[in-house]
Chain A
Amino acid sequence: SYVLTQPPSVSVAPGQTARVSCGGDNIGSKSVHWYQQRPGQAPVLVVYDDSDRPSGIPERFSGSNSGNTATLTITRVEAGDEADYYCQVWESPGDHNYVFGPGTKVTVL
């Protein structure tokens, strides 16, 4: 089955840029989605199809995907961005299922 890797944690000062990586074999050939999950809340889609933003998501959230790494970038980080972030892909060919990364805790210093 397809495996995604993420760093357990990323720390960033307010106003700076946070980058969260998501590694996978030839992940650049897949469509990657990113979710934000604040404590005690349901996940929220912040980037889909590598780099598109759903309605209502600030432009500070962006994504890229190439080779074996996808990246979620959060610019001008705010205290409210502190959360867990998960990447997701659809595994195909193979088991034909969705796979989530293990998650990255973004801490705003």
Chain B
Amino acid sequence: EVQLVQSGAEVIKPGKSLRISCKASGYSFTDYWISWVRQMPGKGLEWMGRIDPSDTYTMYSPSFQGHVTISADRSISTAYLEWTSLKASDTAMYFCARDPMETSRGFDFWGQGTLVTVSS
């Protein structure tokens, strides 16, 4: 059974750094990319970027380039989303999703989401 299990909710102060995780199981981790998607409170879905775990090649949405870092450790089948200095505007739910390399197939499995709340 394919599963993507994300790390738990975070409440963190502005200016702090944070890394959240997405652990994959039930398939070969290096056969699919992992994408990250943001959903701000009451808003729609925004694609942030994707990583190929086989070689850690990454692609970012222009809206998120330079603001976050996507990484992966294939030895533990885990992808990460990281910030170095959080802002209140980063408060959102973040989802990881299994992303077939072929862009004609859609994101077929999703994590449960990680709620990040940035507040002083």
Hey, which bits of chain A sit against chain B, CB under 8 A? 1, 31, 33, 35, 37, 42-45, 48-49, 54, 84, 86, 88, 90, 92, 95-103
Contact = CB atoms under 8 A, between A and B. Distances in A.
Contacts of A86: 44-45
B108 A54 contact: yes
Interface of B: 35, 37, 44-47, 49-50, 59-62, 95, 97, 103-108, 110-113
Contacts of A43: 37, 45, 95, 97, 107, 110
A92 B110 contact: no
B95 A45 contact: no
B59 A35 contact: no
23 contacts: A31-B103, A31-B104, A33-B105, A35-B107, A43-B95, A43-B110, A44-B110, A45-B106, A45-B107, A48-B106, A49-B105, A49-B106, A90-B103, A90-B104, A92-B103, A95-B61, A97-B60, A97-B61, A98-B50, A100-B44, A100-B46, A102-B44, A103-B45
